Amino acid sequence: MEDKIIIKDLEVHNIIGVDSWERVKKQPVIINLIVYTDISQAGETDHLPYSIDYSSITKNVTKFSEESSFKSIEALADAIAKLCITEFHIPKVNVRLEKPKALLHAKCAGVEITRTKEDYDELSKSRSGGNEYDDRIFVQDLRLNTIIGINPWEREEKQSVIVNLTIYPTYKVDSCKDYVIKPHNYRTIVRTVSKHVEESKYKTVEAFATSIARIAIMECHVNKITVKVEKPSALMFAASAGVEIIRSQTYFNKNISTINTQRRSVNNKDIPEGYNHLVYIALGSNMGNCIENINEALRLFEPECRVLDTSFMYETSPMYVVDQPNFINAACKIATNLDPEGLLIKLKNIESNMGRTQTIRYGQRPIDLDIIFYDDIEYTSSTLTIPHPLMGEREFVLRPLCDIEKGLEHPKLFRTCGQLLSHYLKSPSYSPDNFVNKILSIKNDSTLKWSTKTFIMGIINVTPDSFSDGGLYINVDSALSHALKLVEEGADILDIGGCSTRPDADDVPIEEEINRVLPVIRAIRSSSNNTLSNIPISIDTFHSEVAEKAIQNGANIINDISGGLLDERIYSISAKYNLPIILQHMRGTPKTMNQLTDYNNDLILDISNELYERVKVAINAGVKRWNIIVDPGIGFAKKFNQNLEILKRLNEFNGKNSLLEGFPCLIGVSRKSFIGKVTDQPIPQNRNWGTAAACTAAISAGADILRVHDVKEMLDVIKVSDSIWRVNKKEIQ
């Protein structure tokens, strides 16, 4: 006989996890207990010795709950169940814990478990192999606003929906497992679901509920979930209308076995067997050739570590000890077969081999390597703490981490890297005098500091058939003279191309392209004019063989109008020489691109998606993220109105929350046909004013490099535009 003794809504105060504002402080926890027992003797005799003393249970549970300290509500629930069964000899108990202050937009979050005395009887467990369990983690009455429904006003106005989630853990909740993994983390699940819901526009509640289940399972790796959705505004004379569904991984035909498996799939690199640990490492240097030091450290990670991704590179002001040179900082993501202590030894050996010696703490060093995250673990020893305890106060760590994995959640603070950075920038400890500026290093000791100005790339077409200046600089003397003119007018980079990429242009044999560009590059590098001989040179080609020959003769940057689409070996050339590469969006070839201008409903999203795929292939081929510049490809597989739309919406291309967020952007609009159409100017050389307007629009949206024919005139445009939109604006990408 299973009678029940019920203790309802017992409130205790406990520091457990974080509250709705993500603060570690005491918060209310509501406890509901159902004690399963046989009350027949007490009911028939009315004799106290046969009665369950619920007063004593309540006092003990209250005392235990308020004096204990757990990181997870699941562990607290199991500990309370164990207390009830072992101390009061209860055969079976159901424990439901609710945290009403856990989430800003939900009534509560919590856990419900049922335990029997066999669960805590080691002899019983060893004989039976453990018992079945039905643990549940839940989020109750999550209120969100979204577009949902088929009526005209439902398509126009957001309405409130109430979402209830029940998550079925992948393992039995246990007080000995006092940690939260991503599939059980209601805060991460709610954050991910809420973002999806607020941006969605479903017509049916059924599709809406299914999408929530899909997001929870495929992005948060939940094993099984119940989703209940209600629309309070759906019916005039009813409280709500809605739907409830149960879905599992098998329903979506998606096998997500572990967090590491999912994370490793982000990178398509071949990861050796046994490299099962995913680690994020911060790198810094302020002695010697800092950028070369960071690159050398990455090289020395092999063979026990495989670099999967890198951040952008930053020049940063020193912290703690401020009387020292600025630092160069970055971060990387690696797969490794080493445990935390073994990895620490590996990193310390790299530091030592690269010349780091013991000096004052936070002083100058040729290389500094810190483990920030190691899988999802919390780890403390006499020599190492993971996650890194000071990361929350270091913008020079947080910003590079956000480049790689903005949504990565701190396993102890329950905040993503993006949230930690946002919180730091708003905290009293933040000082605007400390700077973290994104940079690009070029081999001839040039450094582009992206936040300081819009850079200008001067065009030298060593071709007979370019649309604007074909045939003008076909011999070395005229090309060299033009290069000197562009540099004197203020060009920061020279872009040299030996193959016309105008619409309908024929491809040029590789040998001919090489013969056109190499003499010009050699002439510039051997010039007696120091400014000209040291100018960064970009090779405008989509052939890997041309790119490598140009680099071997003095080019510093690869500018590929196909984004690597026409010759993927070009990525390995960029990686081999550790040089920047400009990846432009294009479809087809110059011969066919104008027949490939059909995009789906969102032009910018389509361009970003297609170019992002190129970026991922480049990174997987070994190109450092800090060496990648993106270009939406104005005039390449774009119609007239599409070119204008790109300029109008350029801030969506690589702006906040876009796929290409943070990547420096090059824009090439100079003298192009869409400008001629707007201004009714058929002669390309007479399109300067229109080019100036297009360049201004690009700068206002955050373009970092302008590729132009007329450097002198466009430099004035840049100076004025930068004064309006860029000067004194702290870099936030």
Among candidate residues 145, 209, 216, 230, the one with its CA nearest the CA of residue 187: 216
Q: Is 305's pLDDT higher than 80?
A: yes
- Kindly list the domain boundaries of the chain, sorted by start residue: 4-122+130-260, 277-434, 451-726
Domain 451-726 is found in CATH 3.20.20.20: yes
Rounded to an integer, the average pLDDT of 421-447 is 88
- pLDDT score of 729: 46
- The partner residues of 540 in beta bridges, in order of sequence, read 497, 559
CA dist., res. 688 & res. 715, Å (int): 12
Angle in degrees, 0-180, between the axes of helices 688-700 and 640-648, rounded to the nearest 10? 40
- pLDDT score of 260: 38
CA dist., res. 96 & res. 111, Å (int): 6
Q: Helix, strand, coil % (nearest 5) of the chain?
A: 35, 25, 40
Residue pointed to by tokens 């209601």: 186
Question: What is the chain's mean pLDDT, rounded?
Answer: 89
- 263 phi and psi, to 5 degrees? -65, -40
Percent above pLDDT 70 for the chain: 92
- pLDDT score of 16: 84
pLDDT in tens, 667-694: 999 999 999 999 999 999 999 999 999 9
* Total length of the chain: 733
**Token couple for 572:** 């390995």
Q: Are 573 and 548 in contact (CB under 8 A)?
A: yes
pLDDT in tens, 628-648: 999 999 999 999 999 999 999
| Coil, strand or helix at 344 | helix
- pLDDT score of 253: 63
124-158 core/surface letters (b: 16 or more CB in 10 A; e: else): eeeeeeeeebebbbbbbebebebbbbeeeebeeee
- pLDDT score of 40: 86
Superfamily of domain 277-434: 7,8-Dihydro-6-hydroxymethylpterin-pyrophosphokinase HPPK (3.30.70.560)
Q: Where are the alpha helices (DSSP H) in 649-710?
A: 650-653, 673-679, 688-700
Q: For residues 133 and 276, which has the higher predicted lDDT (pLDDT)? A: 276
Confidence of residue 504 (pLDDT cuts 50, 70, 90): confident
Confidence of residue 182 (pLDDT cuts 50, 70, 90): low
- pLDDT score of 178: 64
| Coil, strand or helix at 203 | coil
Right CATH for 4-122+130-260 from 3.30.1370.10, 3.50.50.60, 3.30.1130.10, 3.40.50.300: 3.30.1130.10
Active site residues: 672, 707
- pLDDT score of 132: 54
Angle at Cα 652 formed by Cα 608 and Cα 561, nearest 5°?
40
- The partner residues of 369 in beta bridges, in order of sequence, read 283
The DSSP call for residue 468 is T
Q: Is 255's pLDDT higher than 80?
A: no
**Token couple for 688:** 């300067």
Confidence of residue 433 (pLDDT cuts 50, 70, 90): confident
- pLDDT score of 129: 42
Q: Are 278 and 309 in contact (CB under 8 A)?
A: no
Among candidate residues 181, 176, 169, the one with its CA nearest the CA of residue 133: 169
CA dist., res. 485 & res. 356, Å (int): 45
CA dist., res. 563 & res. 559, Å (int): 8
- pLDDT score of 267: 58
Q: For residues 187 and 494, which has the higher predicted lDDT (pLDDT)? A: 494
Rounded to an integer, the average pLDDT of 463-470 is 67
455 sits in which H/E element: strand 455-461
pLDDT in tens, 136-147: 999 999 999 999
* C-beta neighbour count of 91 within 10 angstroms: 14
* C-beta neighbour count of 297 within 10 angstroms: 24
605 sits in which H/E element: helix 603-620
Percent above pLDDT 90 for the chain: 70
pLDDT in tens, 23-48: 888 899 999 999 998 888 888 888 88
**Token couple for 145:** 């606003």
pLDDT in tens, 573-624: 999 999 999 999 999 999 899 999 999 889 999 999 999 999 999 999 999 9
**pTM of this structure:** 0.80
Q: For residues 125 and 447, which has the higher predicted lDDT (pLDDT)? A: 447
Rounded to an integer, the average pLDDT of 95-104 is 95
Rounded to an integer, the average pLDDT of 99-109 is 94
Confidence of residue 262 (pLDDT cuts 50, 70, 90): very low
Pairing of strands 455-461, 705-708: parallel
- pLDDT score of 258: 36
Per-residue CA distances from 317 to 371, 431, 452, 603 (Å): 21, 11, 15, 39
Cis preceding-peptide flag for 387 (omega within 30 of 0) = yes
- pLDDT score of 467: 60
- pLDDT score of 679: 96
Rounded to an integer, the average pLDDT of 158-168 is 95
CA dist., res. 524 & res. 519, Å (int): 9
CA dist., res. 664 & res. 630, Å (int): 6
